Amino acid sequence: MHTAEIRQRWLDFFAERGHTVVPSASLVSDDPTLMFTVAGMVPFIPYMSGLIPAPYPRATSVQKCIRTLDIEEVGKTTRHGTFFQMAGNFSFGDYFKEQAIAYAWELLTTSEADGGYGFDERDLWVTVYEDDDEAIEMWKRIAGLPDRRIQRLGKADNYWHTGQAGPGGPCSEIYFDRGPEFGAEGGPAVDDSRYLEIWNLVFMQYLLDDVKSKTDFTVVRELPKKNIDTGLGVERVAFLKQGVANMYETDQVRPVLDLAAQLSGRRYGANHDDDVRMRVVADHVRSALMLMADGVTPSNEGGGYVLRRLLRRSVRSMRLLGVDAPTFTELFPASRDAMKAAYPEVETNYDRIARLAYAEEENFLGTLASGTSILDLAVAKTKQAGTRQLPGDTAFLLHDTFGFPIDLTLEMAEEAGLTVDRSAFDSLMLEQRTKAKADAKAKKTALADLSVYSDFRAKGETVFTGYEYLQTETKVL
Ligand code: ATP
Ligand code: MG
Ligand code: MG
Ligand code: MG
């Protein structure tokens, strides 16, 4: 089942059940507290909070998402992309918990011939919030799940709120058991590799107050209008349905992975580190493509910097695969061709994308070339001096002046048989960050007058600014 078909089956299923199909919003979120759209519910936040009356009682979408928070997981786990598609069904004070559970179970277990995803029900497990006996009872009654395959988890895992006073509620997550070759049979509460999370159901049912942390808050009362917010990972279903090992081997991602293998002359599956690099290239090229299609331009700050970092990490990964020459002229068209059926904007905006991506690659290759000669010199000097450790200030100079990421310096030093004085490097970085913070503070004070107005404008709209995982998103890179 192709990724596009998984997406279409989703939309058809919920459209047939009275949901308005809403097209994916841009990756660049309208919400000023968010750098990117990180979940399917982001465009619906005003309806969930009741700020704006929902124009429809129920909706469905397949939303383009970027989660930079997951960047270090890419290629190492089976399931984390920096870009991915989150399918969602939403109820704004319309149906609630029982119906949400029933829909999820029906779509997952209806046979492929009858329009569902055709999972074997014996492979599905769920987690519920530990006090949500209601959800447990429903999973048993609606899905016939045995006790063993319903696991209770605490607030840290299965409770959702905004980080501020406002709506919140328990979650229930659905997992697929990949089988004994992936680990012991303990259920998703103890193993997130054998048990793959595919779908999160959020039951927005309470008004919360005194929200001090993810797990410390007070439940005030039931909400008069309860909402449903769900998110299913399209790539995760794709990798299960396509019988491949991870999301990077699915039809929309694999062509770039194969090309990275071909261009480097290395075989995918032969060496773990190389495999991770090929997956990183495939993931990052796609994410960069999608970001540029939505108007993001590489730069040194904000979303532009995230994009720059994705592009540079792709270049670096290709280099670590032994390719010094430019490869974006081949990798980007391959990613475009894999994505254009679902997202025509990658084709219509391709001139812009090509111009930006190819220039960025050329510049960074230049950076790498000049940085590499500095590094080679420093390596020779260090060896001459009879030590085996590259000084921290060399690593800092490479980072600061040549844009050399520290892990690249570490890796290249290691190849030359040296270590790096990491603690000296870290303290130089800290010094620089402290200085930058002081500068930013000075700048903020200078802008104080203006912020009065924006505070005034934001009044009454503050309820939804505190998404814990959403906010941390902006701090990652
Ligand atoms: P995980 O625990 O695997 O990191 P999550 O709990 O952070 O996932 P949610 O915030 O619940 O994910 O998002 C809803 C769904 O979106 C998940 O159940 C999963 O199927 C999918 N999803 C989340 N993050 C990613 C990602 N980085 N790449 C691909 N799919 C993802
Ligand atoms: Mg996560
Ligand atoms: Mg999770
Ligand atoms: Mg989850």
SS (H, E, C) 320-375: HCCCCCCCHHHHHHHHHHHHCCCCCHHHHCHHHHHHHHHHHHHHHHHHHHHHHHHH
Please tell me the distance between residue 70's alpha carbon and the centre of ligand 3 in angstroms.
12
Supply the pLDDT for residue 470: 35
pLDDT at 447 over 60: no
Q: Which ligand is nearest to the CA of 68?
A: 1
Residue 195, φ and ψ in degrees, nearest 5? -100, 110
Going by alpha carbons, the residue nearest to atom 1 of ligand 1 is: 197
Ligand 1 close to Cβ of residue 233 (< 6 A): yes
Q: Which ligand is nearest to the CA of 72?
A: 1
pLDDT at 330 over 80: yes
Going by alpha carbons, the residue nearest to atom 19 of ligand 1 is: 233
Ligand 1 close to Cβ of residue 80 (< 6 A): yes
Supply the pLDDT for residue 443: 53
Please tell me the distance between residue 354's alpha carbon and the centre of ligand 1 in angstroms.
30
Residue 262's nearest CA partner among 316, 314, 327, 310 is: 327
Going by alpha carbons, the residue nearest to atom 27 of ligand 1 is: 80
Angle of the 350-384 helix axis to the 328-339 helix axis, nearest 10:
140
Ligand 1 close to Cβ of residue 81 (< 6 A): yes
Ligand 1 close to Cβ of residue 86 (< 6 A): yes
Give the mean pLDDT of the chain. Answer: 90
Q: Which pLDDT band holds residue 430 (cuts at 50, 70, 90)?
A: very high
pLDDT digits (tens, 9 = 90+) for 356-400: 999 999 999 998 888 888 999 999 999 999 999 999 999 999 998
Ligand 1 close to Cβ of residue 286 (< 6 A): no
Residue 7, φ and ψ in degrees, nearest 5? -65, -45
pLDDT at 408 over 90: no
Amino acid, res. 108: L
Going by alpha carbons, the residue nearest to atom 21 of ligand 1 is: 233
pLDDT at 4 over 80: yes
Going by alpha carbons, the residue nearest to atom 23 of ligand 1 is: 233
Please tell me the distance between residue 173's alpha carbon and the centre of ligand 3 in angstroms.
8
pLDDT digits (tens, 9 = 90+) for 335-348: 999 999 999 999 99
Q: Which pLDDT band holds residue 160 (cuts at 50, 70, 90)?
A: very high
Please tell me the distance between residue 73's alpha carbon and the centre of ligand 2 in angstroms.
9
Q: Which ligand is nearest to the CA of 229?
A: 1
Ligand 1 close to Cβ of residue 197 (< 6 A): yes
- Asked if this assembly's ipTM is beyond 0.95, the reply is yes
Going by alpha carbons, the residue nearest to atom 2 of ligand 1 is: 197
Supply the pLDDT for residue 442: 67
Ligand 1 close to Cβ of residue 64 (< 6 A): no
pLDDT at 133 over 90: yes
Mean pLDDT of 44-67: 93
pLDDT at 444 over 70: no
Angle of the 328-339 helix axis to the 272-293 helix axis, nearest 10:
70
- The residue assigned the tokens 């328990």 is 170
Q: Ligand 1: which atom is nearest the Cα of residue 69?
A: 27
pLDDT at 111 over 60: yes
The residue to mutate among 173, 236, 290, 467, having the most atoms of ligand 1 within 8 angstroms of its beta carbon, is 236
pLDDT at 23 over 60: yes
The residue to mutate among 36, 171, 200, 280, having the most atoms of ligand 1 within 8 angstroms of its beta carbon, is 200
Ligand 1 close to Cβ of residue 199 (< 6 A): yes
Query: What percent of the chain clears pLDDT 90, i.e. is strictly above it?
Result: 78
Characterize 102-114 residue by residue with b for buried, 16 or more Cβ atoms within 10 angstroms of its Cβ, and e for exposed.
ebbbebbbbeeee
Please tell me the distance between residue 197's alpha carbon and the centre of ligand 2 in angstroms.
10
pLDDT at 448 over 80: no
Name which residue leads in pLDDT, 321 or 477. 321
Supply the pLDDT for residue 463: 31
Ligand 1 close to Cβ of residue 231 (< 6 A): yes
